[in-house]
């Protein structure tokens, strides 16, 4: 081997859960030298035994500007000051590794451009699905494909809640409380349960898959708060599980159909067997067919595994006497994605109706759907009882539609709501596949 | 962007199923110029419409030596002349992409060394699990981990056969005939059903994961010919599926426990839900925990997807005015793997016994196992009948052991075979996990 090896100076911004894991894994490689660490509380007791406290600073810009630092690792989270720090590092020609999904989803285009302009790399495998390799495989291993669809279970908190609701028959509130007690959910669970975390991640994945910027702020996002144990039970009887899905599809005319919402997932779909805090990304490419990547989506060591893989990928290159940024690791967007309006998206739908009365209701529903151009795949009556006169009454009717446009579905729902026989529309969910 | 872009000359050796898929996918990239193609039958009718027949040659060395070819793609298969061709290409400093599992498993060490000596790359994503990204993720995305275990369903033919046996209650011969009729199995199925194909693939995966050469010829390899519908049914009742598994574990003292055999897979294990011709690789790393990669393992376009990803990874670099081989893509072995002898491996076992007589047999079995140091996890009696005297007779007893050494198990089996109450040992299989 002709190469000479040099030590690579690494600056670490953040020494919380993930940062501590990164530090531990980096200690396996003596040619990677952590030479500056930014922390919020320098006197805090830490679980790293041999930490040299002289490396610590409360000013992260000191890490970025340290002349020994050639590679900056950002694991502090949040948009500011992370954005300014990463930009400054890239402008100084330093390579950056980050696990910050909000940062990449929101400012990725600017960061990637700044990296290119300064012949630097920015990698972010840890930003999506923790330790599961997905960013590099999408950029490199699936590069020969035109991606047709990505469907991901990208948030461990909501998947844990939905799993407990499904397996234990719990309602949402009980499952959320259990997730909080086990440390899977935060005291304020909004970011997870309302789908914002998933929105960041599907926006990053679809941006890479379709090589165009998908703005997370423009996605249609629905969370899982309104999912009931009743719908989970009914869905299972019909052969489906309910999962919070980040979805991105190549639509007509170059548009991208990207959104986040709970979906009925057929029980024989690979995503249906992803339970508890596990994450998975299912990808359909025009050459490879369907592939799936699954594993634990978060936690100290899984996320650190992804961050350190990125550090090694850059570091292995810097480490020789002929360092060059790796072009295959670059991301370049062809402008802003044209997002398909939700009303123009196509889906199959699950509709649970609370009906007052049976005679005629099926026929009425059929008319409403027919008038809106919505074909039905199945109609199921549940909880049938007889009233005092011996007339059949039913508590719920479940419709599954064929593939229809959202605007057709809304038209049908409006017509159904006006029926005298319909009590209320209890739940509407989209169906995967 | 400062880079200048140049056309990269690609030489293709082989234009069969995979080669045709590669040609089609390459046509999407006008900077990749297929300038020479070696075929066996130049006058054969092909499904590529715009193929320039002037590019064809029957001498693959012409492809390797063509001065316009900077990247050689070997999709002809077989050990010779593929080995000599790839070696010659690397010695000429040309980069190589191959999907040849036998070549990489058998001669990988020599090829990787030759590549390093000549500052060239050799990539082989298509050699394992077709289009499923697994080689690059193992080399790059999981590089921060110490791999503890790899368990793979790496052969679509055998997985299809076992799936049909399980889902349709078929015996092996019927399922094999169906696989042959559908084109999933060859007329001579030896390579697949006896586990040799899986052995090549697990040897490649374990060589990369453990950075040491694992010789496929030294692996213990068992196929699926002796699996019966009866054992699949019994296993399912106990909560297991039966899969052909390529297994590699980090064992004591730096040894590697690598082997191929059918295994009982717990139904809640991710590998248990991989059916039909699908492949999957489950990896346990010390940082990431467990991750799984799954998808279709073979076929024209899935394998071509992997081959072209490798071509793009190298080509993207050659394409600029500052070409450099990508160090992260290199493979280097620390010598030859120390393989753990099968008798020293640890497993849980499923044992089906045909017993003549019931009274006392359970006690006898317990003594045999106890004398050999084999603890039992469960004992199940199946097919209990009464004889003419009203005595209980049983057709089968199924034992599941706790984790024991193979030599202990063999000791117990020898003792059991000598029991008067035991008719015969019907089936012994290892249990995953």
Is the confidence at residue A422, as pLDDT, over 90? no
In whole angstroms, give the CA distance from residue B17 to residue B102. 17
Is ipTM > 0.90 here?
A: yes
- The total of other beta-carbon atoms located within 10 Å of residue B359's CB is 11
B284: which chain A residues are within 8 Å (Cβ-Cβ)? none
Residue A290 with chain B: CB contacts under 8 Å: 295-296
| pLDDT for residue A423 | 72
Residues constituting chain B:
433
In a mutational test of the B interface, the residue from A6, A209, A309, A332 whose CB has the highest number of chain B CBs within 10 Å is: A309
Instruction: Give the per-residue pLDDT at B1.
Output: 39
Q: Is residue A194's pLDDT more than 70?
A: yes
Residue A144 to chain B, least CA–CA distance (Å): 5
- CA–CA separation, A184 vs A161, rounded Å? 9
pTM for this entry? 0.94
- H or E element, residue A289: strand A289-296
Phi/psi region, residue B58 (left: phi>0; alpha: psi -120 to 50; beta: rest), is alpha
Distance from C-alpha of A299 to C-alpha of B93, rounded to nearest angstrom: 44
Q: Is B317 on the interface with A (CB under 8 A)?
A: yes
B249 — phi, psi (to 5°)?
-130, 145
- Strand ranges (DSSP E) for A32-87? 32-38, 56-57, 71-74
pLDDT in tens, B181-230: 998 899 999 999 999 999 999 999 999 999 999 999 999 999 999 999 99
- B294 lies within 8 A of chain A by CB: yes
In the β-sheet with B32-38, what is the strand arrangement from edge to edge?
B56-57, B32-38, B8-13, B71-74, B95-98, B122-123
DSSP E strands, B327-432: 346-355, 376-386, 392-401, 404-405, 422-431
Residues A305, B287: C-beta atoms closer than 8 Å: yes
State the nearest Cα–Cα gap between A176 and chain B, in angstroms. 24
- As a whole-number percent, the residues of chain A with pLDDT over 90 amount to 79
From chain B, the residues in CB contact with A302 under 8 A are: 287-289
The answer for B 107-146 residues in CB contact with A (under 8 A) is 116, 119, 125, 131-133, 136-137, 140-145
Residue carrying the six token digits 């054992």 = B231
pLDDT of amino acid B298: 82
A366 touches chain B (CB under 8 A): no
pLDDT of res. A329: 62
For the annotated catalytic residues of B, the residue numbers are 201
Q: Does B302 touch chain A (CB under 8 A)?
A: yes
Taking residues A80-101, what's their average pLDDT? Answer: 97
Q: Please check whether residue B322 is in contact with residue B329, taking contact to mean a CB–CB distance below 8 angstroms.
A: no
Question: Which residue spans within A173-225 are E strands per DSSP?
Answer: 220-221
Cβ pair A222, A195 in contact under 8 A: yes
What pLDDT is recorded for position B50?
85
**CA B56 distance to own-chain centroid:** 33
**Pick from B341, B74, B106, B327: nearest CA to B207:** B106
A205-263: pLDDT as tens digits: 999 999 999 999 999 999 999 999 999 999 999 999 999 999 999 998 889 999 999 99
Any chain A CB within 8 A of the CB of B319?
Answer: yes
Please name the member of A291, A295, A328 whose beta carbon is closest to the beta carbon of B132: A291
CA B378, B383, B384, B387 torsion-angle sign: negative
Out of A141, A312, A313, closest to residue B133 by CB: A141
Mutation pick from B117, B328, B333 vs chain A, by most beta carbons of A within 10 Å, is: B328
Exposed/middle/buried for residue B253 (C-beta within 10 Å: 0-12, 13-18, 19+) = exposed
Q: How many CB atoms lie within 10 A of CB A56?
A: 18
What mean pLDDT, rounded, does chain A reach? 92
First-to-last C-alpha distance (Å) of chain A: 51
Tokens 């079995």 sit on residue: B365
pLDDT at A327: 45
The 8 Å CB, 24+ separation contacts for B369-372 are B369/B399, B369/B401, B369/B412, B369/B416, B371/B411, B371/B412, B371/B415, B372/B408, B372/B409, B372/B411, B372/B412, B372/B415
The reply to whether B309 touches chain A by the CB within 8 Å rule is yes
Q: How far apart are CA B427 and CA B404, in angstroms?
A: 17
Contact B101, B202 (CB under 8 A): no
pLDDT of residue B414: 95
What chain A residue is nearest to B295 in terms of C-alpha separation? A291
pLDDT value, residue B2:
42
Task: Kindly determine whether residue A289 and residue B295, on different chains, have CB atoms separated by under 8 Å.
Answer: yes
Residues of chain B with pLDDT under 70: 1-5, 320-329, 357-358, 392, 394
- Whether residue A405 is predicted with pLDDT greater than 60 in this model: the reply is yes
Contact yes or no for B296 and A290 at CB 8 A: yes
Q: What's the pLDDT score for residue B323?
A: 54
Sign of torsion, CA A366 A368 A369 A372? positive
Give residue B194's pLDDT. Answer: 98
Cis amide linkage into residue A214, ω under 30° from 0: no
pLDDT at A305 over 80: yes
Burial class for A327, CB neighbours closer than 10 Å (0-12, 13-18, 19+): buried
How many beta carbons lie within 10 A of that of residue A5, not counting itself?
10
Residue A2, pLDDT above cutoff 70: no
């Amino acid at each position: 081997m002709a190469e000479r090896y040099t030590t690579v100076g690494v600056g670490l911004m953040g020494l919380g859960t993930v940062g501590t894991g990164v530090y531990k894994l980096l200690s396996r490689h003596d040619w990677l030298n952590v030479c500056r660490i930014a922390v919020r509380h320098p006197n805090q007791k830490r679980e790293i035994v041999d930490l040299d406290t002289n490396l610590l600073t409360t000013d992260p810009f000191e890490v970025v500007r340290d002349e020994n630092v050639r590679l900056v690792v950002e694991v502090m989270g949040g948009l500011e000051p992370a954005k300014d720090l990463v930009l400054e590092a890239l402008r100084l020609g330093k390579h950056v590794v980050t696990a910050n999904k909000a940062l990449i989803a929101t400012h990725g285009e600017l960061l990637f451009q700044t990296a290119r302009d300064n012949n630097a790399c920015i990698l972010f495998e840890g930003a999506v699905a923790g330790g599961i390799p997905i960013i590099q495989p999408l950029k490199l291993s699936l590069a020969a494909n035109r991606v047709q669809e990505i469907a991901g279970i990208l948030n461990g908190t909501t998947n844990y809640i939905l799993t407990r609701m499904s397996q234990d028959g719990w309602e949402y509130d009980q499952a959320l409380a259990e997730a909080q007690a086990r440390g899977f959910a935060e005291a304020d669970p909004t970011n997870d349960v309302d789908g914002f975390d998933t929105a960041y991640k599907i926006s990053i994945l679809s941006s890479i898959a379709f090589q165009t910027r998908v703005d997370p702020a423009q996605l249609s996002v629905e969370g899982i708060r309104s999912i009931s144990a009743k719908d989970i039970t009914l869905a299972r009887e019909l052969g489906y599980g309910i999962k919070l899905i980040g979805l991105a599809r190549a639509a007509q005319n170059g548009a991208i159909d990207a959104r986040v919402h709970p979906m009925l997932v057929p029980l024989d779909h690979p995503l249906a067997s992803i339970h508890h805090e596990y994450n998975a990304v299912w990808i359909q490419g025009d050459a490879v067919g369907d592939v799936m990547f699954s594993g634990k989506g978060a936690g100290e060591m899984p996320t650190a595994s992804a961050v350190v893989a990125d550090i090694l990928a850059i570091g292995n290159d810097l480490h020789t006497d002929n360092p060059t940024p790796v072009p295959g690791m670059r991301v370049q967007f062809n402008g802003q994605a044209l997002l398909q309006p939700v009303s123009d998206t196509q889906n199959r739908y699950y509709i649970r109706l609370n009906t007052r009365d049976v005679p005629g209701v099926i026929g009425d529903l059929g008319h409403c759907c027919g008038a809106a151009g919505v074909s039905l795949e199945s109609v199921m009556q549940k909880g049938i009882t007889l009233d005092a006169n011996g007339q059949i009454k039913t508590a719920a009717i479940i419709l599954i539609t064929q593939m229809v446009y959202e605007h057709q579905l809304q038209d049908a729902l409006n017509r159904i709501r006006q029926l005298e026989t319909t009590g209320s529309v209890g739940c509407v969910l989209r169906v995967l596949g």
